[in-house]
Structure 1
Amino acid sequence: MTTAASDLRLTQYAAGGGCACKVPAGELERVLAELPLGGGTGDLLVGLEHGDDAAAVRIDGERAIIATTDFFTPVVDDPYDWGRIAAANALSDVYAMGGEPVVALNLLAWPREKIPFEVAREVLRGGADVCREAETHLAGGHSIDDREPKYGLAVTGLAHPDRLLRNDAGEAGLPLTLTKPLGLGVLNNRHKATGERFEQAIAAMTTLNRDAARAALAAGARAATDVTGFGLLGHLYKLARASGVTAVVESAAVPYLDGAREALRDGFVPGGSRRNLDWVRPHLDSAGTVDDDELVLLADAQTSGGLLVVGEVPGYPIVGELVPRQDAVLLVR
Structure 2
Amino acid sequence: MLYNETDEYAMLSSVDFITPVVDDPYIYGQIAAANALSDIFAMGGVAKSALNLLMWDSTHFDVKVANAILKGGLDKIAESGALLLGGHTIKDMEQKYGLSVNGIVHKDRIWRNNTAQEGDVLVLTKPIGSGILTTAIKAKMLSNQDEVVQSMAMLNLYAMQVAQEYEIHACTDITGFGLIGHALEMCRANKAKKPHSYLRDFTEDSPYDKSILFYTMQIPLFENARELSQMGIVPGGSYENKNALCFQVRIETQIQDDIFYYDTQTSGGLLFALPFSQAKSFVYDLRKAGITCANIIGEVVPKREKAIILG
| Fold shared by both chains (TM-score > 0.5) | yes
- 1:19 maps to none
Which runs of 5 or more residues in structure 1 are unaligned?
Answer: 1-59
- 2:283 maps to 314
Query: 1:132 deviation in Å?
Result: 1.2
Query: 1:61 deviation in Å?
Result: 5.3
Query: 1:83 deviation in Å?
Result: 0.0
- 2:79 maps to 133
* Residue 177 of structure 1 pairs with residue 126 of structure 2: no
- 1:300 maps to 263
Pick one of 294, 308, 311 that aligns with 1:330.
308
Alpha-carbon spacing, 1:240–1:274, altered in 2? closer, same or farther (3 Å): same
Q: Is the 8 A contact 1:225 1:308 kept in 2?
A: yes
Q: Is the 8 A contact 1:215 1:314 kept in 2?
A: no
- Give the structure-2-normalised TM-score: 0.84
Pick one of 157, 161, 176 that aligns with 1:214.
161
Alpha-carbon spacing, 1:119–1:151, altered in 2? closer, same or farther (3 Å): same
- 1:247 maps to 212
Q: Is the 8 A contact 2:117 2:169 kept in 1?
A: no
- 2:226 maps to 261
- 1:9 maps to none
Helix, strand or coil for the counterpart of 1:168? coil
- In the alignment, the residues of structure 2 paired with residue 262 and residue 142 of structure 1 have an alpha-carbon distance, to the nearest angstrom, of 40
- In the alignment, the residues of structure 1 paired with residue 179 and residue 17 of structure 2 have an alpha-carbon distance, to the nearest angstrom, of 20
- Give the CA RMSD over aligned residues: 1.6
Q: Is the 8 A contact 1:99 1:159 kept in 2?
A: yes
- 2:247 maps to 282
Helix, strand or coil for the counterpart of 1:203? helix
Query: 1:292 deviation in Å?
Result: 6.0
- In the alignment, the residues of structure 1 paired with residue 93 and residue 26 of structure 2 have an alpha-carbon distance, to the nearest angstrom, of 20
Query: 1:115 deviation in Å?
Result: 1.5
Q: Is the 8 A contact 1:163 1:222 kept in 2?
A: no
- The amino acid across from 2:156 in the alignment is N
Q: Is the 8 A contact 1:70 1:152 kept in 2?
A: yes
Pick one of 210, 227, 238 that aligns with 1:273.
238
- In the alignment, the residues of structure 1 paired with residue 187 and residue 254 of structure 2 have an alpha-carbon distance, to the nearest angstrom, of 20
- In the alignment, the residues of structure 1 paired with residue 219 and residue 302 of structure 2 have an alpha-carbon distance, to the nearest angstrom, of 22
Helix, strand or coil for the counterpart of 1:185? helix
- In the alignment, the residues of structure 2 paired with residue 195 and residue 240 of structure 1 have an alpha-carbon distance, to the nearest angstrom, of 37
Helix, strand or coil for the counterpart of 1:180? coil
- The amino acid across from 1:314 in the alignment is V
* Residue 96 of structure 1 pairs with residue 81 of structure 2: no
Query: 1:194 deviation in Å?
Result: 1.3
Identity %: 41
Helix, strand or coil for the counterpart of 2:234? coil
Q: Is the 8 A contact 1:79 1:120 kept in 2?
A: yes
- In the alignment, the residues of structure 2 paired with residue 278 and residue 332 of structure 1 have an alpha-carbon distance, to the nearest angstrom, of 16
Which runs of 5 or more residues in structure 2 are unaligned?
Answer: 1-5, 191-208, 285-293
- Taking the TM superposition and a 5 Å limit, the aligned residue runs for 1:107-146 are 107-146=53-92
- In the alignment, the residues of structure 2 paired with residue 236 and residue 229 of structure 1 have an alpha-carbon distance, to the nearest angstrom, of 12
Query: 1:195 deviation in Å?
Result: 5.8
Query: 1:332 deviation in Å?
Result: 0.8
Query: 1:122 deviation in Å?
Result: 0.3
- 2:23 maps to 77
- The amino acid across from 1:99 in the alignment is G
Q: Is the 8 A contact 1:96 1:224 kept in 2?
A: yes
- In the alignment, the residues of structure 2 paired with residue 138 and residue 290 of structure 1 have an alpha-carbon distance, to the nearest angstrom, of 48
Helix, strand or coil for the counterpart of 2:180? helix
- In the alignment, the residues of structure 1 paired with residue 8 and residue 62 of structure 2 have an alpha-carbon distance, to the nearest angstrom, of 46
Query: 1:110 deviation in Å?
Result: 1.0
- The amino acid across from 2:304 in the alignment is Q
The C-alpha deviation readout for 1:92-137, integer Å capped at 9, x for no partner, is 1000000010000000001222221221100000000111111110
Q: Which has the higher contact order (CA 8 A, sep 6+)?
A: 2
How many residue pairs were aligned? 273
Helix, strand or coil for the counterpart of 2:139? helix
- In the alignment, the residues of structure 1 paired with residue 60 and residue 155 of structure 2 have an alpha-carbon distance, to the nearest angstrom, of 32
- In the alignment, the residues of structure 1 paired with residue 53 and residue 141 of structure 2 have an alpha-carbon distance, to the nearest angstrom, of 26
- In the alignment, the residues of structure 2 paired with residue 285 and residue 171 of structure 1 have an alpha-carbon distance, to the nearest angstrom, of 20
Query: 1:144 deviation in Å?
Result: 0.8
Alpha-carbon spacing, 1:242–1:272, altered in 2? closer, same or farther (3 Å): farther
**Which segment drifts farther, 314-323 or 94-103?**
314-323
